[in-house]
Amino acid sequence: MAKVVSSKNRKKRRGLKIFLSIILLAAAGAVLYGIPPSLLDINRIIQSAASKIPRNPAGFTPAASVLRGSIYDQRFNELAVSYRLYTLSVRPADVADHQATAEALSQVINKKAEEIAGSLKSSRQTLTLMEDLDEHQAAAIEELQLPGVLCLPVETRFYPAHTAASHVLGFMGDNAGLAGVEGRFDAVLSSRTVRNSNIPDINFKGQESLGAQSVDLILTLDLRLQRQLEQLFREYLAAQGMEKGMGLLLEPGSGRILALVNQPSFNPNYFWKANEGNRVNRVYSHLLDKDLIRPILVRAAEIEREGIDGPPLLPETVAAPDYGFTEAMLSNFEHRLRLYDPVSDNWEGGSSQDNQEGREDAVTGVQVGATLASLVNGGWRINPYVVDSIYDHASASRFYRSTTGVGRAHVLDPALSVKIRRNLFARWVSSKDDKILYEVDKEQAGQVGSLGEYSTQRLFVGLAPAIYPQYLLVMAVEKNEIRPQQQTGRANKDKTISLEQLGRDLLSYVTQNPPQLAQGEAPPPRSEENMRQFFISKRLAATKTPEEIVAQAATMPSLRGLSLRKALQKIDPYKMRVRINGSGRVIAQYPLPGTSLLGMNECILTLEER
């Protein structure tokens, strides 16, 4: 009984305490309600107290963070670089003379003193007067020693090549990498401490971690070749009235990707303007009909069956269909080549997207590239890769990809692979320019609602030189239509650029202008030209007119059939760069009519005399 009474007493005391607490809180609220509003501004009180701590009244915040690491191509051309900008903030409560402060700041930020003074007088909270100040402007403001004025550092990412290699680079948002190399190696580029587990393909020379300063990435891409491939590819698509395609240029012996293009593309500086389709990495995700490379696989399988001392391969006109191979026999050979294996890479977009459906009637562009490379490089299946090395600023050292590598496997007998390389592409060798050129189309019919849909896939494979290929080029395009394309004389005339000719031109360019590695181990100082381009773009973006904003949200008008003069007049409001091929009237355009112009900054017009 005593225990029950004690428990009741405790409950009464607890209830009394709660009641008294409520009364005290209510009384405190009433007292605070009578205090002048200026004293209730807790944020201002704290800031005012902080301002009394001995420090510079204006200028940079201390201990600015290390900038995010840069990304370079193999010649040390900047592909992604970070700049430190500054935001001008003012605490009006700490400004003794609003007019004098406004006049001093107006000399630095090119803003009217009356406008600045009005902002200071109308606000009691900390306000932002201007963003995107450079280091010189921030230093000039610091020298003024103005109470209550601060320049806060802000890091901004810039992609000087704009749309070039955008699918490889990816993009950033909220100070974090979200896609491509930026996303896959966010921990490497943004952290002061980089562990080998963050980038296992790189040889850390026995060390477990690097860092204390920024770490840069050096890619295998060659920006010069990348731009050449993109330009030729866009011109081809425009001439054919197509929008979508992919291209991959690599070294079959090493797996180094020299250029990789996906169309349509996007500008990572304004990635939010591009729709989801533009950001699709078609090299790794778009499925191609396996029959496009069936002739090559069948010939390779027959050469292997005959062995090293076997007779020469018979012509197709004499041999049995598919050289007597059944589907099961051919499938077995494809699996030994690992045709359907996911092609993982050390950047985002590899195995996670590769032929997700696990189909054996379709392959991706990168699977085609990896498989064909193994047929000409001594039987080695090598996963193509784009990250070549890293540069650690703390130790001033460059760390390269591991020589043992990952994703390397022998899929053919070394001796037999030499015979395959010499005989496989004999029928597709262009002796006049020492190249292997293979092009094939595949048409398919499907159904979209009550209408039929017709799809044409076109694949090109090129290797150079023909005897011992050093470069492998794979390109693929696809066109979908509700009805079959009419093969009229005009349609044939429009196809003045063939995919084979495009491949031939690009292979000639790369053999005449082979990729060159950068001189030295350390990246050069930051490019002043790129920095100037960056600040110009920031200022232009800040001063866009309403007409320009509306134009960017518009769709591409139809220009076909117009004279060049009228076409340029019609496209002028959209403020796009225009590339012109030929003369006469417009017969093809890119982007196509009706395409959203968000993220588009270039138009290609193909002209022809009537």
What whole-number distance in Å separates Cα of residue 583 and Cα of residue 565? 11
Whole-number Å distance between alpha carbons of 290 and 294: 6
| DSSP H or E segment with residue 541 | helix 528-542
Q: Give the tokens for residue 602.
A: 């270039």
Question: Which helix (H) or strand (E) is 122 found in, with range?
Answer: helix 113-122
Q: CB 157: neighbour CB atoms within 10 A?
A: 22
Does the pLDDT value for residue 325 go beyond 80? no
Tokens describing residue 516: 């060159």
397: exposed, middle or buried (Cβ count in 10 Å: 0-12, 13-18, 19+): middle
How far apart are alpha carbons 71 and 158 in whole angstroms? Answer: 11
CA dihedral 509, 442, 343, 513 (to 10 degrees): 0
Q: Mean of the per-residue pLDDT values for the chain? A: 79
Q: What is the DSSP string of 401-444?
A: BPSS-SSEEE-S-HHHHHHHHHHTTGGGEETTTTEEEEEEEEEE
Q: pTM surpassing 0.85?
A: no
- List, for residues 512-563, the tens digit of each pLDDT value: 999 988 888 899 998 989 888 888 777 665 544 444 444 445 788 888 888 8
Between CA 110 and CA 113 the distance in angstroms is 9
Q: Which pLDDT tens digit goes with each residue over 146-201? A: 888 989 898 899 999 999 999 999 998 878 888 899 999 998 998 778 888 888 88
211-267, pLDDT tens digit by residue?
778 899 999 999 999 999 998 998 899 888 888 899 999 999 999 999 999 998 899
- 430: amino acid identity, one letter: S
- pLDDT score for 491: 43
DSSP 458-499: EEEEEEESSSS--EEEEEEEEEEESSPPP--HHHHHH--S-H
Locus of tokens 């990246």: 523
Average confidence (pLDDT) over 97-118: 86
Cis peptide before 591 (omega within 30 of 0): yes
Cβ burial of 71 (10 Å; 0-12, 13-18, 19+) is buried
The answer on pLDDT for 444 being more than 90 is: no
The three-class DSSP label of residue 22 is: helix
| pLDDT tens digits for range 4-49 | 334 445 555 666 566 566 666 655 554 444 444 433 343 443 344 3
Q: What is the DSSP string of 343-404?
A: ---SSTTSTTTTTTT--SSEEEHHHHHHHHHHHHTTSEEE--B-EEEEEETTTTEEEEBPSS
Separation CA 281–CA 186 (nearest Å)? 19
> What pLDDT, on a 0 to 100 scale, did the predictor assign at position 7?
45
